[in-house]
Amino acid sequence: MKDLKELKKIEKFADQCMKCGFCSFFCPVYQEEKVETAVARGKNYLIKLALKGEQEFTEEMADIIGKCLLCKRCAANCPSKTQIDRVVVGARAQMVKDKGLGFIKDFAFRKVMSNRKAFGRYVKLAKAFQWMLPKTEGNIRHLPDFLKALGQGRHIPNLAKTFLRDMVKPVYKPVNGEKPKMRVGFFMGCATDFVYPELGLKLIDFLTKRGIEVVVPESQNCCGAAIYFSGDFETGRMLAEENIKAFEGVDYVVTACGTCSSTLKDYQKYLPDNEDQQKRYEAFEKKIKDSTEFVIDVMKIPPEDFKLRKEFEGKTATWHDPCHLIRYQNIKEQPRAILKALKGLKYVEMPNADMCCGMGGSFSVYHYDLTKKIADKKMDGIKATGADIVVTACPGCMINLIDNALRNKMTQKVYHFLELVE
Amino acid sequence: MLKESLVSEFQKIVGKENVLTTPEALKAYSYDGTTSWIHEPDCVVFPKTTQEISEIMKIANAEKIPVTPRGGGTNVSGGSVPWLGGVVLCTTKMNTILKIDKENLTATVEPGVVLQDLTLKLAKEGLFFPPDPQSFLGATLGGIIAENAGGPACVKYGVTKQYILGLEVVFPDGRIANFGGRTLKNVVGYDLLHIFVSSEGTLGVITKAELKLNPIPPAKKTIMAVYAEIAMAGESVFRVLENGVIPGKIELLDNWVINRIEEMMPMGLPKDADAVLLFECDGIPEAVEKETEKIVEITKKYGATDVRVAKDVDEANKYWMARKAGFAAVFGKAPTVMAEDVTVPRGKIPEFIKRCRDLSKKYDVEMCILGHAGDGNLHPAILSDIKNKDLYERALKAMDGIIEGAVEFGGVLSGEHGIGLEKQKFFRRTMDPVAVDLMMKIKALLDPNNIMNPGKIWD
């Protein structure tokens, strides 16, 4: 009998599905493809067969299991509360365990390669960039994914001239010189580090101005989203251990990236292999706060105390819910409360605010055509609001929203909510 | 297995990407919303036009290959399971709403349009399509028509067949035919249109439909009546109606269902109640007010221990969420759930409920009751486990008893789900033999090679 350890862990979630098919309405991928293997019900059924030994992890299976944004919209609306995101990630983990990490990625990668003339250009570019990256290459594996996206005709923001890691100090004391109210660790994450370093500086500035001591441990690593969501739990655990160690002794860990905060919180869901790990990952989860929830729920800043930066005065804004905020962390009202209370800014809710933008981390690299179709629906929602700016709190979403707004020749600019406030 | 040459024929018609043959895809098209009916097709084809369907049917007919039409695959009768293999003809890519005609209150749709997509689009025009099966999020119009689906709104608005004005259908031999039209009244010749409504895909493929619409009622109100005795809830249903109030919906949840919902999403339902009835009145505001008062009065008079009128939309939504969750609550609680779809004349609801409870005791099986009490369509559900032979057999006996009971009380064995595979064994037992004979003859006339969804309705 084969060792189905990772699948066994998610068996109880998979068993919840009663095949009603409601997920089809909520799945952005199914909405485009209209085939049963694209939707949660189909994936869940095939994974259950794998559990029974009636379905091998073929290349086709890898493709099916790979083609999920993990946006969790199906799970949030499932009448029998099937946690299909955990089922899918568990299946990926089993595949990686059985066949090695390359399997899912290589297969999709080959498909991308064979379909795109631009491939040569994009590998060259990726390579050209990769040698420049800091020596900790093994620690930033999700960056190569990002680089692969180049050459697909995407509008990708330039890498920052200086990475955040090379700008920050290990400790920032409160600016007023008083005794710190609390000690907060700042978790950088790849996108903030390499693409949006100013976001990190902004957050540090925001916190220290309000009497908080911010520490930026040098030994912090990648959050692991792209890694453990691909099923590489072994590397995921290594990262979890490093990050937990790096942030020992702080009251909270704050990040400006919705994916990072969600990923750090969810170590306890996916990665533990024993009770000790379970306990430690759960303790770590309690420390993690996304910037949007930290300022409202922990710092308890009343929404009306936020001040709009001058350049945004008179603008109309709309909010895009990153999947990792609204469904993974249940953060929905906090950013809206701030945006609605900002004097000088007009807030308009977009029709499909909670719908995935189509990024899905490396999903958009392997299935860029699908990403574009899904994003087009998002763009329709944005257009319908007549807003000047789209605000969100996940650099991953920002990259995708910018790309698709430009592709659709839209005038809307995309900002992180931290960029709006003083 | 299908000949490879046929697969390439299909590919020529619909394009390579619209024919699936991988083992994984075939497995994903082997099931519907039922628990125990599973069979793989030999290939899955996604047509985009009526003409393509016609071409596919011609080939299938010449080669005598089974064809199972399928939309969202949300049905719970086994109806879209390709029981004898062959081709699954999936219409999910034919999903255009062709026209919404406000002047005539009609809509023209392709078969793969999902009901909720239609509902949202119609709502923008102030219109609605009344049939509302609980599978509305995934169910497609082709399937809704072929299964003659129902839902909570049937008590006032009737089932699907009352909202189909015209159909375009492809016959097994590839002929394309149009029945009915776009008018509300149409008495020209035999009513062939309605042979296809509830035909469960055994006579032809529905490729286009003309739907009758209603304007959205301007006001709504939700009332929850609580009962210490479920039979009294059953009585309240027909007492309300005989007193001249026809609410938009009347739904029944028994104690078991109430408690499972409370476990899943606590919302303050009365956990001690033997049953609750949920009413929804809709219409012009003044009428809705009057009807609500009347319902409160009548339900109190006929034994409700507590009657709550939802004070706002949020509270009303909460109750209807509970009703929807009831479905999940039942199915999530046992490895094998046998959900019935019997319908009895409304006056017999109390007696029928009593029969169900007796059967539950007699065969020592856990049973719960929920359903569209307003139209007598109840879904008693037996919790079982196909792997536990003794329990499963007792459950089967109890289910036989439920169906026999319903028929004895003047009811029918399916109200809205159809026969498919699930109810086959009861079909001939409960149907007039002359009707069965006629149906067989119609089937033989339209589908002489028996390729349309074979293995269903009659065995």
Does residue B138 sit at the A interface (CB-CB below 8 Å)? yes
Does residue B37 sit at the A interface (CB-CB below 8 Å)? no
Q: What is the pLDDT of residue A110?
A: 43
User: Cβ–Cβ of B27/A55 closer than 8 Å?
Assistant: yes
Cα distance from B400 to chain A (closest Cα, Å)?
A: 23
Instruction: Please name the residues in contact with A278: beta carbons below 8 A apart, sequence gap of 6 or more.
Output: A268, A272
Instruction: Give the confidence band of B66 by pLDDT, cuts at 50, 70, 90.
Output: very high
Does residue B20 sit at the A interface (CB-CB below 8 Å)? yes
User: Cβ–Cβ of A60/B23 closer than 8 Å?
Assistant: yes
Angle of helix A233-246 relative to helix A84-99, nearest 10 degrees, comes to 110
Q: Report chain B residues whose CB lies below 8 A from the CB of A79.
A: 324-325, 327-328
Instruction: Give the confidence band of B243 by pLDDT, cuts at 50, 70, 90.
Output: very high
Residue A106 pLDDT > 60, yes or no?
Answer: no
| b/e map B382-413, b = 16+ CB within 10 Å | bbbeeeeeebbebbbebbebbbbbbbebebbb
Among A133-147, A188-202, B48-62, where is mean pLDDT lowest? A133-147
Cα distance from A350 to chain B (closest Cα, Å)?
A: 16
Q: What is the pLDDT of residue A83?
A: 94
From the list B92, B137, B332, the residue facing A34 with the nearest CB is B92
Residue A327 pLDDT > 50, yes or no?
Answer: yes
Residue A124 pLDDT > 60, yes or no?
Answer: no
Residue B238 pLDDT > 60, yes or no?
Answer: yes
Instruction: Please name the residues in contact with A370: beta carbons below 8 A apart, sequence gap of 6 or more.
Output: A29, A32, A33, A67, A358, A363
User: Cβ–Cβ of A22/B46 closer than 8 Å?
Assistant: no
Mean of all residue pLDDT scores within chain B: 94
**DSSP one-letter code for B113:** -
User: Cβ–Cβ of A25/B114 closer than 8 Å?
Assistant: yes
pTM exceeding 0.90: yes
Cα distance from A128 to chain B (closest Cα, Å)?
A: 36
| Chain A residue closest in CA terms to B329 | A80
Cα distance from B70 to chain A (closest Cα, Å)?
A: 11
Q: What is the pLDDT of residue A117?
A: 36
Q: What is the pLDDT of residue A130?
A: 42
Work out the average pLDDT over B96-113. 97
User: Cβ–Cβ of B33/A16 closer than 8 Å?
Assistant: no
Best of B24, B27, B48 to disrupt the A interface (most A CBs within 10 Å) is B24
Q: Strand B164-170 relative to strand B304-309: parallel, antiparallel, unpaired? A: unpaired
Cα distance from A205 to chain B (closest Cα, Å)?
A: 42
Q: What is the pLDDT of residue A178?
A: 86
Q: Report chain B residues whose CB lies below 8 A from the CB of A23.
A: 138
Instruction: Please name the residues in contact with A146: beta carbons below 8 A apart, sequence gap of 6 or more.
Output: A156, A190, A191, A365, A399
Q: What is the pLDDT of residue A156?
A: 65
Q: What is the pLDDT of residue B418?
A: 92
Tell me how far apart the alpha carbons of residues A329 and A291 are, in angstroms, rounded to a whole number. Answer: 12
Give the gyration radius of chain A's Cα atoms. Answer: 21
**DSSP one-letter code for B412:** B
Residue A121 pLDDT > 60, yes or no?
Answer: no
Tell me how far apart the alpha carbons of residues A59 and A355 are, in angstroms, rounded to a whole number. Answer: 29
Work out the average pLDDT over A224-237. 86
Q: Report chain B residues whose CB lies below 8 A from the CB of A58.
A: 23-24
Cα distance from A357 to chain B (closest Cα, Å)?
A: 20
The residue type found at A234 is E
| Chain B residue closest in CA terms to A16 | B332
Nearest in space to B26 (alpha carbons), one of B101, B82, B107, B106: B82
The better pLDDT of the pair B192, A365 is held by B192
The residue type found at B210 is E
Q: What is the pLDDT of residue A119?
A: 37
Residue A367 pLDDT > 90, yes or no?
Answer: no
Other Cβ atoms within 10 Å of A59 Cβ, number: 17
User: Cβ–Cβ of A60/B95 closer than 8 Å?
Assistant: no
Q: Report chain B residues whose CB lies below 8 A from the CB of A45.
A: 27-28, 31
Residue B204 pLDDT > 90, yes or no?
Answer: yes
Q: What is the pLDDT of residue B304?
A: 96
Residue A250 pLDDT > 70, yes or no?
Answer: yes
Q: Structure tokens of B111?
A: 């078969």
| pLDDT, tens digit (0-9, with 9 covering 90-100), for A200-218 | 999 999 999 999 999 999 8
Among A213-222, A288-297, B221-230, where is mean pLDDT lowest? A213-222
Instruction: Give the confidence band of B340 by pLDDT, cuts at 50, 70, 90.
Output: confident
Coil vs helix vs strand at A100: coil
| Chain A residue closest in CA terms to B260 | A80
Residue A113 pLDDT > 70, yes or no?
Answer: no
Residue B106 pLDDT > 50, yes or no?
Answer: yes
Phi, psi of B37 (to 5 degrees): -105, 115
Q: What is the pLDDT of residue A1?
A: 54
Instruction: Please name the residues in contact with A57: beta carbons below 8 A apart, sequence gap of 6 or more.
Output: A50, A94, A95, A98, A99, A103
Instruction: Give the confidence band of A136 by pLDDT, cuts at 50, 70, 90.
Output: very low
Quote helix, strand, coil % in chain B, to nearest 5. 40, 20, 40
Q: Is A261:A324 a contact under the CB 8 Å cutoff?
A: yes
Residue A191 pLDDT > 90, yes or no?
Answer: no
Nearest in space to B246 (alpha carbons), one of B342, B153, B308, B149: B153
Q: What is the pLDDT of residue B139?
A: 97
Q: Is B223:B295 a contact under the CB 8 Å cutoff?
A: yes
Q: Report chain A residues whose CB lies below 8 A from the CB of B325.
A: 79
Instruction: Give the confidence band of A104 by pLDDT, cuts at 50, 70, 90.
Output: low
Q: Report chain B residues whose CB lies below 8 A from the CB of A77.
A: 137
| pLDDT, tens digit (0-9, with 9 covering 90-100), for B259-289 | 988 888 888 889 999 999 999 999 999 999 9
Coil vs helix vs strand at A107: helix
Kindly provide the ipTM of the predicted complex, given to two decimals: 0.94
Among A151-165, A168-182, A326-340, B227-241, where is mean pLDDT lowest? A151-165
Q: Report chain B residues whose CB lies below 8 A from the CB of A46.
A: 24, 27-28
Q: What is the pLDDT of residue A235?
A: 84
From the list A16, A20, A58, the residue facing B24 with the nearest CB is A58
Cα distance from B294 to chain A (closest Cα, Å)?
A: 33
Q: What are the CB-based long-range contacts (under 8 Å, 24+) for A169-172? A: A169/A216, A170/A215, A170/A216, A170/A217, A170/A218, A171/A213, A171/A214, A171/A215, A171/A216, A172/A204, A172/A207, A172/A208, A172/A213, A172/A214, A172/A215, A172/A216
Spell out which chain A residues touch chain B, with contact meaning CB-CB distance below 8 angstroms.
Answer: 16, 18-26, 34-37, 42, 45-46, 49, 55, 58, 60-61, 64, 77, 79-81
Instruction: Please name the residues in contact with B199: beta carbons below 8 A apart, sequence gap of 6 or more.
Output: B146
Phi, psi of A255 (to 5 degrees): -140, 155
| Chain A residue closest in CA terms to B322 | A79
Q: Structure tokens of B332?
A: 């999530």
Does residue B320 sit at the A interface (CB-CB below 8 Å)? no
**DSSP one-letter code for B452:** B
Q: What is the pLDDT of residue A165?
A: 84
| pLDDT, tens digit (0-9, with 9 covering 90-100), for B379-401 | 999 999 888 999 999 999 999 99
**Number of cross-chain residue pairs from A and B with Cβ atoms under 8 Å apart:** 89
Does residue B331 sit at the A interface (CB-CB below 8 Å)? yes
Chain B, window 208-267: residues with a beta carbon less than 8 angstroms from a chain A beta carbon:
264
Nearest in space to B80 (alpha carbons), one of B459, B458, B452: B452
Work out the average pLDDT over B2-13. 92
| Chain A residue closest in CA terms to B327 | A79
Q: What is the pLDDT of residue A153?
A: 60
From the list B28, B90, B264, the residue facing A42 with the nearest CB is B28
Instruction: Please name the residues in contact with A348: beta carbons below 8 A apart, sequence gap of 6 or more.
Output: A316, A317, A318, A385, A386, A387
| Chain A residue closest in CA terms to B117 | A25
Instruction: Give the confidence band of B321 by pLDDT, cuts at 50, 70, 90.
Output: confident
User: Cβ–Cβ of B325/A46 closer than 8 Å?
Assistant: no
Tell me how far apart the alpha carbons of residues B62 and A409 are, in angstroms, rounded to a whole number. Answer: 52
Does residue B33 sit at the A interface (CB-CB below 8 Å)? yes
Q: Where are the alpha helices (DSSP H) in A131-257?
A: 142-148, 190-194, 197-209, 225-228, 233-246
| pLDDT, tens digit (0-9, with 9 covering 90-100), for B130-149 | 999 989 999 999 999 999 99
Q: Report chain A residues whose CB lies below 8 A from the CB of B32.
A: 19
Among A14-18, A46-50, B38-42, B448-452, where is mean pLDDT lowest? A14-18
Q: Where are the alpha helices (DSSP H) in A215-315?
A: 225-228, 233-246, 258-265, 267-270, 275-287, 291-293
Q: What is the pLDDT of residue A283?
A: 97
The better pLDDT of the pair B181, B337 is held by B181
From the list A16, A20, A34, the residue facing B74 with the nearest CB is A20
User: Cβ–Cβ of B92/A21 closer than 8 Å?
Assistant: no
Does residue B314 sit at the A interface (CB-CB below 8 Å)? no
User: Cβ–Cβ of A18/B328 closer than 8 Å?
Assistant: yes
Distances (CA, A) of B298 to B309, B349, B403: 14, 17, 30
From the list A25, A35, A80, the residue facing B138 with the nearest CB is A25
User: Cβ–Cβ of A80/B331 closer than 8 Å?
Assistant: yes
User: Cβ–Cβ of A25/B325 closer than 8 Å?
Assistant: no
Instruction: Please name the residues in contact with B60: beta carbons below 8 A apart, sequence gap of 6 or more.
Output: B66, B67, B86, B87, B172, B451
User: Cβ–Cβ of A45/B27 closer than 8 Å?
Assistant: yes
Q: Report chain A residues whose CB lies below 8 A from the CB of B328.
A: 18, 20, 79-81
The better pLDDT of the pair B3, B156 is held by B156
Instruction: Give the confidence band of A152 by pLDDT, cuts at 50, 70, 90.
Output: low
Classify residue A162 as exposed, middle or buried by CB count within 10 Å of its CB (0-12, 13-18, 19+): exposed
Tell me how far apart the alpha carbons of residues A352 and B376 are, in angstroms, rounded to a whole number. Answer: 38
Classify residue B453 as exposed, middle or buried by CB count within 10 Å of its CB (0-12, 13-18, 19+): buried
Instruction: Give the confidence band of A234 by pLDDT, cuts at 50, 70, 90.
Output: confident
Cα distance from A23 to chain B (closest Cα, Å)?
A: 8
Tell me how far apart the alpha carbons of residues A165 and B59 are, in angstroms, rounded to a whole number. Answer: 65
Other Cβ atoms within 10 Å of A386 Cβ, number: 11
Among A13-17, A137-141, B107-111, where is mean pLDDT lowest? A137-141
Mean of all residue pLDDT scores within chain A: 86
Residue A146 pLDDT > 70, yes or no?
Answer: no
Q: What is the pLDDT of residue A151?
A: 47
Phi, psi of A286 (to 5 degrees): -65, -25
Cα distance from B444 to chain A (closest Cα, Å)?
A: 32
User: Cβ–Cβ of A18/B27 closer than 8 Å?
Assistant: no
